[in-house]
Amino acid sequence: MGFIALVFVLTMLIGVPIAFVLGSSALYYFFFFGKMPLDMIGQKLYAGCDNFVLLAIYFFILAGELMNRAKITDALIDFSKILVGKIPGALAQVNIVVSVFFAGITGSGVADTAAIGSVLIPAMKKEGYTAEYATAVTVASSVIGPIIPPSVVMVIYSMATGTSVGALFAAGFIPGIAIALSLMVLSLYYAIKYKHPRRTENMTFKQVATTIRKSLVALLCPVVLVGGIFSGRFTPTEAAAIACFYAMVAGLFILRTLTFKDVLESFLKAAISGSVILLIISTAALFGQFMALERVPSHMARIILSITHNKYTFLLLVNVLLIFMGMIMETGASVILLAPILVPIALQLGIHPIHFALVMLVNLNIGLSTPPVGVCLFAAAPIAGLSLEKISKAVLPFILAEIAALLLLTYIPELVLFIPRALGYVQ
């Protein structure tokens, strides 16, 4: 065990991609300790991603790519300006609100950062916001993307634990909005303190009607997706495929902002991104086999239960652990490795599985904006022309606001369970 931990830590420290960290650690174990026939390794890697539900990952990524290339972002920004354009620090508020709407289309924090940041970071700088502040707002609000459904990481969690995807999607709405509200309150504080600009002129009825009409194409996508899943009309995987069809029809024939070249490039980008995720899932399955053979989950359970049998203390310890893991490891890999260990302990302590799922997912998604592995930081840096160090410093207050919202979600379970209970997923 000690040697395996050393291999794992060393490969992480030298910057090896997480898929190869997991794979090399597991292979070292099987080669030198021989607890599984070597000809079974390939079968285990294949079995790790041989799951129909995982097709949804490709389709959601593809739908997000198509929507990005169709310039759906512009319509969502204009619609958000109607809602919050007169609040002090209007563009910062727009940045956060448009992330909420965009989350219902892509389910990806990185896509959110790239699409919204490329438009709003330059716009905010032009209106007098500092580059650091504009980038920090963009990066922090991108965390909302994988929390509000549809969400790629929720699909991965469902595959790892057997939890209903529909229940996870239903549980994601209030946590996503809670994160957004925490960021909006902090942005309002900064706007009043530093006298950030806001819109002073009134929009005419014609302008409002035109903006809403243009935004409907984008806003209907999450309605079709989520409504179809919750009504039982189609599964999450089928919903993801329908989202792709909807995005192509909208971009090619309604908005006419998408070309067939864009469609082909979107397929290529989705294939590459999805393959990376599935490679992580495959190697994590092999690593999970090693943990099962060495009974790591049961050892971890004994250690944690020796510290406390109080579920509130356990949740606090989990928060600390997951925020740290979110800082150093990719979100999907963390879910696959940690969920099978932590979920049985949570159930033993009487914590509802859907509540614990969202606590875990919100925790790890905050890691998207935290150094050193926060992928949204890397996506925003070239757009803003800033170093990673400057962005990391500027985003810290927003991360603290998100953690405050996380603590509310952790200790008030009904905030997570209200919608799943209303829809019949929770008794």
CA distance 229 to 241: 12
Does residue 18 lie in a domain region? no
Contact of 314 with 346, CB cutoff 8 Å: yes
Other Cβ atoms closer than 10 A to 278: 18
CB atoms within 10 A of CB 59: 24
Give the C-alpha separation, 173 to 357, whole Å: 13
3-state secondary structure labels for all residues of 383-399:
HHCCCHHHHHHHHHHHH
Tokens, residue 189: 């504080």
Q: Is residue 264 part of a domain?
A: yes
Residue 190: both structure tokens together: 């900064």
The predicted structure's pLDDT at residue 263: 93
Rg of the Cα atoms in the chain: 22
**For the purposes of burial, counting CB atoms within 10 Å of the CB of 125, is it exposed (0-12), middle (13-18) or buried (19 or more)?**
middle
Burial of 198 (0-12, 13-18, 19+ CB in 10 A): middle
Q: How many independent structural domains does the chain possess?
A: 1
- Residue 5, domain member (yes or no): no
> What is the number of alpha carbons within 13 Å of residue 260 lying toward its C-beta?
0
SS3 177: helix
CB neighbours (10 Å) of residue 307?
Answer: 10
Tell me which amino acid residue 253 is.
F
Quick check: helix, strand or coil at residue 113? Answer: helix
What's the confidence (pLDDT) of residue 410? 96
The number of beta carbons lying within 10 Å of the beta carbon of residue 187 is 28
Q: In 10 A of CB 383, how many CB atoms?
A: 20
Indicate the helix (H) or strand (E) that contains 241. helix 236-249
Amino acid at 249: V
Sequence-distant (6+) residues with CB within 8 A of 60 are 106, 107, 108, 150, 152, 155, 240, 243
CA separation, residue 192 to residues 88, 134, 247 (Å): 7, 16, 39
Q: What is the pLDDT of residue 278?
A: 85
Query: Which alpha helices (H) appear in 70-204, and where do they start and end?
Result: 72-84, 90-106, 109-126, 131-141, 152-161, 165-171, 173-194
* pLDDT attached to residue 8: 80
Which residue in 69, 64, 75 sits closest to 259, CA to CA?
A: 69
Report phi then psi at 331, rounded to 5.
-60, -50
State how far the Cα of 318 lies from the Cα of 297, in Å rounded to an integer. 15
For 425, which DSSP code? S
Give a yes or no: residue 71 inside a domain.
yes
**Residue-level pLDDT at 402:** 96
| Residue at token pair 């067939």 | 260
Spell out the per-residue pLDDT of the chain, length 427, in tens.
667 778 787 887 787 887 888 888 888 888 887 666 777 788 888 887 887 778 888 888 888 788 878 877 777 888 888 888 888 888 899 999 988 988 877 667 777 787 788 888 998 998 889 999 999 999 999 999 899 988 889 988 998 898 998 899 999 999 999 999 999 999 999 999 988 887 777 778 888 888 888 788 877 877 777 777 777 788 878 888 888 898 898 889 888 888 999 999 999 988 888 888 888 888 888 888 888 778 777 777 788 888 888 999 999 999 988 888 887 777 888 888 889 889 999 999 999 999 999 999 999 999 888 877 778 888 888 889 888 889 999 999 999 999 999 999 999 999 999 999 998 888 7
Q: Which domain holds residue 408?
A: 36-422
The reply to whether 10 falls in a domain is: no
What stretch of H or E contains 312?
A: helix 311-328
Six token digits for residue 306:
């020796």
Identity of the amino acid at 283: T
